[in-house]
Chains A and B, each alone.
Chain A
Amino acid sequence: MSESATNTVKKRPEFRNINAFKDLPTYRLPVAGIVSILHRISGLIMFFLMPFIVWMFDTSVSSEISFSKFKSAFNIGMLGIPGALWKLAALALMWAFLHHLIAGLRHLWMDTHHEATSKEFGKSSAVVTLAVSIGLTLILGAKLFGLY
């Protein structure tokens, strides 16, 4: 009885254990899913760059001398690493922070508004999250690298 039932049903792919190399490249991730995994990745980046964040806070507020050290790290370089690479690290933090903040506000909105938990809002708000976070990162990044 059950055999005849399974024969008529179209066989769908089954995922028991997802293989990172075999399954992930062909896995169709919706925009909301992309925002979700980027939320995690951006948080992870900020966690590992936390000493750099605290260093920036420390040197920028402690004294006039440390403030000039802070500036020269980005303009000239520090620890044998050129200033452009420090700026790149700061840019990575800017994107991570913006994405994490906007995606987080989206979460808070969905937690408190019942009508926001729909497929349509999930998609449109995910698109807005990506557009605003990437757009602001590009604008601030251009300023950071002295393009305007």
Chain B
Amino acid sequence: MTVNYGSKRLAVGAHYGLRDWLAQRITAALMALFTAILLLQVVLIQGPIGYDQWSGIFSPQWMKALTFTTMIALLYHVWIGMRDIWMDYIKPVWLRLVLHVFTIVWLLACTGWSMQALWRF
């Protein structure tokens, strides 16, 4: 990042906005791609889908890597979205801080759990 302190400090506007706006869209595109790949694999399965067929989708290393990356993308995407919601509707600074911290804890806990589930089997 560029210098943002001293005389170069940006005092107005949401200049971090473009970065997050772009990140939200790139992560969205990645998740849409993941959805398409997952859906294609589900559709290609013949007959009823049991445990073997379902978990088999996530067992190849490339699919684990893609799912892992999608989870990270999701984490970032949801953080930007939830932060925007809190910033729009919650005005008291202390409550906004509490909700920001809650969001981070909630998201990290969910991401950790999902990664554990992904790599365990």
Which chain A residues lie closer than 8 Å to B58 at the CB level? 61
Q: Are B114 and A54 in contact (CB under 8 A)?
A: yes
On chain B, the number of residues with a Cβ less than 8 Å from chain A's Cβ atoms is 26
Would you give the shortest CB distance from A88 to chain B, in whole angstroms?
Answer: 21
Q: Are A67 and B114 in contact (CB under 8 A)?
A: no
Which residues of A (27-82) have their CB < 8 Å from a CB of B? 40, 43-44, 46-47, 50-51, 53-54, 57-58, 60-64, 67
A108 within 8 A of B: yes
Would you give the shortest CB distance from B52 to chain A, in whole angstroms?
Answer: 8
A54 to B107, CA, bound (A): 11
Q: Is the interface of A mostly helix, strand, loop or mixed?
A: helix
Which chain B residues lie closer than 8 Å to A58 at the CB level? 113-114, 116-117
A43 to B86, CA, bound (A): 13
Q: Are B25 and A50 in contact (CB under 8 A)?
A: no
Total residue contacts A-B, CB cutoff 8 A: 64
Q: Is the interface of B mostly helix, strand, loop or mixed?
A: helix
Which chain A residues lie closer than 8 Å to B29 at the CB level? 108
A48 to B112, CA, bound (A): 16
On chain A, the number of residues with a Cβ less than 8 Å from chain B's Cβ atoms is 23
Which chain B residues lie closer than 8 Å to A84 at the CB level? none
Would you give the shortest CB distance from B50 to chain A, in whole angstroms?
Answer: 8
B15 within 8 A of A: no
Which chain B residues lie closer than 8 Å to A107 at the CB level? 25, 28
Would you give the shortest CB distance from B111 to chain A, in whole angstroms?
Answer: 8
A43 to B85, CA, bound (A): 10
Ranked nearest first, the 7 interchain pairs of A and B with the lowest CB-CB distance are A58-B117, A67-B51, A61-B55, A50-B110, A54-B114, A54-B113, A64-B51
A111 within 8 A of B: yes
Would you give the shortest CB distance from A91 to chain B, in whole angstroms?
Answer: 18
Would you give the shortest CB distance from B76 to chain A, in whole angstroms?
Answer: 13
Chain A to chain B contacts (Cβ below 8 Å), 8 pairs: A47-B82, A50-B78, A53-B110, A61-B121, A62-B117, A62-B121, A64-B51, A104-B28
